[in-house]
Each structure stands twice: as C-alpha cells, then as structure tokens.
Amino acid sequence: MRRRRLLQAGLALAGGSWVVASAAPPTAQPAGVQPAPLRRGSRIAALAPGTWLDPADPLLDQLSQRCATEGWQLLRPPSLSQRWRWFAGSDRQRLGALQQAWLDPRVDALFYVGAGWGSARVLEAGFTVPASPRWCVGFSDCSALLLAQWAAGSVGGVHGWFGGDVAAWQRLVALLQHQPVPSLQGTPVQGGTVRGPLVVSNLTIATSLIGTPWLPPLQGAILVLEDTGEAPYRIDRQLTQWRSSGLLDGLAGIGLGRFSWAEDDVLLGDFTMEEILIERLAPLGVPLVRDLPVGHGRPNLALPLGRLAELDGRSGQLRLLST
C-alpha cells in the first residue's frame, strides 16, 4: 500500500468462476452490542492517526457540510493541524488525541480522516482499545485501528470513507443510524453460502499486524481484503505468509475488494493479480467472491467489522444480516 495514495482508481479483474460444493457454515462468534445510532445533534471527532492532511485538501469542508445536512456536528480538534515529518504530530500527540476523543462521553463517533501510514505506531505507543462499543470509521492505514478495535471486543468499527459519491455516503449514514443497506455485488469465484462476522482490511496493513495482539481471530469469519499500489508478486508474498502461518485456517469465506497496481508491475509471463489471488485463496476450499466495491477507488462502500454477514459464492453477493 502506497502512503498518501488513498483514492486510486481500481482496475477491474476479469476471469471465469468456479463452483464447489456448499460447506456447512461454521459457528459465528457473537457480534456484540452496536453503538447507539447517530441522531440529530450527534458530535463526531475528526482524527488523523497517521499521515498529516494536506491543508488544501477539501475533504474536511465537504465532510462538515455532509455532517451538517444530517444534523451532526464535525469537531476539528487542534491535533488536526499538527505535523511531524509525514505524521500528523508525534506518536504521543496522535495517541493523546485518539484517547481523548475515544473517552469523551460528548463524542458519538470517531472519523479517521487521515490515513497514509502511522496508525499502528499509535497502537505501539500504548493505545488500549476499550471494549465498549464505539463508532469508528476509516480504511486504508486506519484498518490497523479497526482491527485492533474488533480484536478488543469493541463493536462499531466501519471500513469506509467519507469522500466518495452521495450514494456511498448515504450507505455509511444508514449504517451509523442502524438502517438496512443493500447487499454488495461481486463476481463469483468459488461457490457455497456461509455466515460469519465480517473482518475487513487492507491486506498490507493486516499483514503488518501478524504476531501482534491487534489482529483479531479469523476462525469462522468472512474476511474481506483490498489493497493498492502493490505488485502481484508482493500480494503473492503476503498471502503465502498468511497461508503458511495458518491464519486462514477455519475461515468461513473470503471477499476480495479492489487490488490496484501499476501496469509495469506485471511483466510478460508473470502472474496477473487475479491469477495470484485465486491461486493463493481458492485452495482453501471456502466460498470466494471477487470484485466487491470495497477499498481504494470508487465506490468504496462501507462494511462494519464484527457484523454478522452472509457470503454467497454462487451469486457473488455479500449481505449484512439483521442485528
């Protein structure tokens, strides 16, 4: 994943599909209690746990307007203007801002508006995620915080973004208000229908958490992965590590969002990205769906970590189940 390249357009993956016999769905771990729905008057803290925001970035103004339309107030703490090299302040400063916002009872949600790189350094600096439910929204590098939140047993982490089109924003709003959202449509690769809690992440960020307490257990889960700026051979290297470590054993199913890369990352005779993803993941024998509208690029449709979902490897649909 390349630092500060958050909204690269994804490249479409093409290919056929495979069907295997349906596997019995594993027992899903309990999803826990969701945070209270956001309502008019809710207060949202904007945080940059990683790379600093470009002062000319219109994201915050757009986000403030969108929140105001919903009757929400977007809070911009002083930490947003901090800068230390490529980080939005030192590790201790970013840690302090995150702790203060998380523990403030007047704050109803945390929006991770700055990503790039640095969230895992905040965890290393000593951030301990409370087990209480908390709306926390972000993606890319901020996947580290979302994974750590679910690993701590806290429900409310949402893999999504704020700068997409109106439809993507309204999906996020619906999730934060406990309203139903449409299923996501992908391309079937390997059949079967399974249910399990969602674990959604950037692959590179999740790989960097292997061996730490911040990567949640994956047994019985539906794992959704995406990435950007990584050549197919580097994706191959990461997935081989996951397979060799046994982390993928016992998964209920796998969904693949966008995986984008530069054209010169694939030379004549190399594996394509699609070939690597399928060659590494299909042998696990679980339902597999690709081309989900998730990750860097548009649309980047929101998915909540820990929510019970159903993945249909025949139709290519990923559906959230009622809480």
Smallest CA-to-CA distance from 152 within 245, 32, 240 is with: 32
Name the DSSP class of 154. -
- Which DSSP helix (H) or strand (E) runs through 69? helix 59-69
The reported pLDDT for the residue numbered 323 is 64
The more confidently predicted of residues 31 and 234 is 234
DSSP β-bridge partners for residue 310: 195, 319
The average pLDDT across 261-284 equals 86
* Residue 159 bears catalytic tag: no
> Per residue in 39-80, pLDDT tens?
999 999 999 999 998 877 899 999 999 999 999 999 998 888
- Give the end-to-end CA distance of the chain in Å, rounded to a whole number: 33
The reported pLDDT for the residue numbered 262 is 72
How large a percentage of the chain has pLDDT more than 90? 79
Give the mean pLDDT of the chain: 89
Q: Which residues contact 64 (CB under 8 A, 6 or more apart)?
A: 74
Checking if the pLDDT of 191 tops 60, the result is yes
DSSP β-bridge partners for residue 136: 110, 157
Distance CA 144, CA 155 (A): 15
Smallest CA-to-CA distance from 160 within 133, 135, 127, 129 is with: 135
* Residue 263 bears catalytic tag: no
> Per residue in 142-152, pLDDT tens?
999 999 999 99
**Sequential DSSP letters for 189-254:** EE--EEEEEEEEEEHHHHHHTTTSTTSPP-TT-EEEEEEES--HHHHHHHHHHHHHHTTTTT--EE
The pLDDT confidence band at residue 15, using thresholds 50, 70 and 90, is: very low
DSSP β-bridge partners for residue 109: 44, 135
Place of tokens 């995620």: 129
> Per residue in 217-233, pLDDT tens?
999 999 999 999 999 99
Given the residues 159, 230, 260, 296, select the one marked as catalytic: 296
The reported pLDDT for the residue numbered 322 is 83
Place of tokens 């397979």: 243
Name the DSSP class of 265. G
Helix axes 232-245, 273-281, angle to 10 degrees: 10
The pLDDT confidence band at residue 271, using thresholds 50, 70 and 90, is: confident
> Per residue in 83-139, pLDDT tens?
999 999 999 999 999 999 999 999 999 999 987 899 999 999 999 999 999 999 999
Distance CA 147, CA 199 (A): 8
Given the residues 140, 154, 208, 260, select the one marked as catalytic: 140
The reported pLDDT for the residue numbered 149 is 97
DSSP β-bridge partners for residue 44: 74, 109
Given the residues 208, 226, 230, 310, select the one marked as catalytic: 226
Answer yes or no: are the C-beta atoms of 273 and 259 closer than 8 Å. yes
Smallest CA-to-CA distance from 142 within 77, 17, 48 is with: 48
> Per residue in 1-14, pLDDT tens?
444 433 333 323 33
pTM higher than 0.85: yes
The reported pLDDT for the residue numbered 27 is 39
The reported pLDDT for the residue numbered 31 is 64
* Residue 178 bears catalytic tag: no
Checking if the pLDDT of 16 tops 80, the result is no
Checking if the pLDDT of 33 tops 90, the result is no
